[in-house]
Amino acid sequence: MTRSVEETASQRSHTVRKLTRRQAAIIGAFTGITCGPFSDVHEYVDSLPGFKGITTIGFATCSEQIREAAKADFLAICADSQTDEDVAK
């Protein structure tokens, strides 16, 4: 029996915690892929040193610099071997 993606996600939703908006903003800034409101990514990047007042065009022209500036925060929210949750849940 084949399950739809929605059904499978719905069944697992009780075990998967959603990202915080800040975590989603950090991921968006580091990867360039938004997983939350773009306004949160914009606010986060605007708070990084050297990016105050960045425009949406600035995201395209400064993507590598943004990635480097967000790297420490991105690595801080990544799972590590010390995470006590079972991935297979």
Taking only the tens place, the pLDDT of each residue in 38-89 is: 999 999 999 999 999 999 899 999 999 999 999 999 999 998 866 555 555 5
Predicted pLDDT at 8? 61
Q: pLDDT confidence of 17, banded at 50, 70, 90?
A: confident
Domain ranges (residues) in the chain: 19-77
pLDDT for the residue numbered 49 = 95
Predicted TM-score (pTM) of this structure: 0.75
- The pairs formed by 72-78 with CB atoms below 8 angstroms and a separation of 24 or more are 73/26, 73/29, 73/30, 74/26, 74/27, 74/29, 74/30, 77/23, 77/26, 77/27
